[in-house]
Structure 1
Amino acid sequence: MADRVHPGGDSPPATAPPAAATTTAATNSPTKPSPPPGTYVVQIPKDQIYRYPPPENAKRYQKYSRKNRRSCSFCCCLCWILSLLFLLALLLAATAGVLYLVFRPKALDYAIESISIKKFNLNSTANPSQLTTTISPEFNVTVRAHNPNSKIGVYYRGGSSVAVSYAGAELCAGALPAFYQPAKNVTVFKTVMVGEGIRLSRDAYLGLMGQQRTGEIPLGLDLKVPVRVKFGSVKTWTLTVKVGCDVAVDKLGVDASVVSNKCRVRALPWKSI
């Protein structure tokens, strides 16, 4: 019996179905880039990822963390201090407002009632040909202090100063007495001021001589007095009252008369004598 031999072209290829399957799988699924040889890909859930600074930056991280903590502490402390200062300012403003409404404070009033001048004889001690003239005058000044307040008293304390000047040059200096001035009171006190070895320039000497002939010599009188103000039964801390007076006299003698005077008063909330 003869064997049947099938022609080669009629038998189906054995590898055709696997090739088709491979093509279908490549078409349906996206291609992923393959990692380079020698590497590993580890997948970790996001909730298990923790961040730590690398060892070379650990000291720098700690340094910045300490700085941030110190900065926060400083900011908190500064905010507390500013809040306390603001609260204190509000309390002081409220207290000042209450005191003003209750006591209605008024400024003190000062005036120069009389001036007696000794040892200021320009005719006998001065020489117009010289550039300077040396004098040692003595001033006896009477000051009138008026407290117009109805509920406020004033304690004049020690350590005051008073000076007389001409054209900006001080002629003599002294001090005021210490006393208490009650409300609605007028107090007249005297003070003696002495100058030693005062040198007058030639221009000042000639100016004094000319103004003495006209009968109006301008002088300046400055007072600095430490006081304590009494509001009812409460006394304040020591503050300074400054008084500046522009005074004019008719002559430089014992019987000199005050031609005009005008005083300005300024109170400072601290002691600066």
Structure 2
Amino acid sequence: MSDRVFPSSKPAANGNGTVSAAAPPPVKPPLRPPYRPQPHARRHHRPRRSYRCCCCFWTILVILILALLAAIAATALYVLYRPHRPEFSVPSLRLHRLNLTSSADSSTNHVATLLNFTVTSKNPNSHITFYYDPFVISALSSSDVFLGNGTVPGFFSDKKNQTFLKNVVVSGSIDLDTDSVKSLKSDLKKKNGVSLKIKLDTKVKVKVGKLSSKKVGIRVTCEGFRAALPKGKTPSVATVDKSKCKVDLRIKIWKFTF
């Protein structure tokens, strides 16, 4: 009868006679779920941007509509009333005094002037009236050397009306610098007489029917006058046949006038 050998359940001993325990099976780490980046919270700016764009659009649209209405109204007024600028002229001018004196060392230069003239204001419009503030008048040489000033009271210019302002006096007693003296001496040496220029500054309000505008600054520049130097107390009569006057708007924005 054959013998059966059964394996021993006891741990085997090593060479030193000690018994080593069997190593436990390795423990697997728990499985982690795959990393998924979390989406960042987005700030919703679309409603605000849409609101701003909508406001800008309507603002621009309203401005364009108002500009269109203003242009239509201006065109209608122009077609109905045919507005024209007022017309000015200087039919007569007399030079009573124009004396230039200098000290021995030319350190002091002085000019004394006196002249008078007549101003004519004409309103060529049939439906427009003008209301003028007082005028500030300046007399200058052809080289823009200031010679004197004066004033004219304001007046009302009715439709198709002509106003005469007579005996307007301009005078001055002024100290001049070196450059102004040179320019004025050059003007005084001309054989055909000294050239003079007149400037009138004021503000005007325009009325069309029941509509009235705000006051707007204007400047009237009249030039082309020539006068010989007066002799004694007899004034010199200037030639005015080539004189012309032009009217320009004087618009003031902040500190600047255009």
Q: TM-score, normalised by structure 2?
A: 0.71
Output the aligned Cα RMSD: 3.1
Q: 2:146 aligns with which of 162, 170, 176?
A: 170
Q: CA deviation at 1:77?
A: 2.1
* SS of equivalent residue, structure 1 residue 121: strand
Any idea what SS the aligned residue of 2:153 has?
coil
Q: How does 1:82-231 map to 2 (within 5 A)?
A: 82-122=60-100, 125-126=101-102, 130=106, 133-158=109-134, 160-166=135-141, 167-190=143-166, 191-199=168-176, 201=178, 202-211=181-190, 214-231=191-208
Of 235, 243, 255, the match for 2:212? 235
**CA distance in structure 2 between the aligned counterparts of 1:240 and 1:251, rounded to whole angstroms:** 33
Match of 1:38 among 31, 35, 46: 31
2:67 and 2:59 map into 1 onto residues whose CA distance is 12
- String of CA shifts for 1:248-271, please: whole Å, max 9, x gaps: 222244333234311222235669
Query: Which residue of structure 2 lines up, in the alignment, with residue 34 of structure 1?
Result: none
Structure 1 gap segments, 5+ residues each: 1-36, 42-51
Q: Percent identity?
A: 26
Moved more, 258-267 or 83-92: 258-267
Unaligned runs of 5+ in 2: 1-29
Amino acid at match of 1:203: K
Could you tell me which residue of structure 2 aligns to residue 245 of structure 1? 222
Residues of 2 paired with 1:121 and 1:269: CA distance?
36
Displacement of 1:108 in angstroms is 1.7
Q: TM-score scaled to structure 1, two decimals?
A: 0.67
Tell me the number of residue pairs that the alignment of Structure 1 and Structure 2 aligns. Answer: 216
Which one has a larger percent helix, Structure 1 or Structure 2?
1
The residue identity in structure 2 corresponding to 1:116 is R
Following superposition, the deviation at residue 89 of structure 1 comes to 0.8
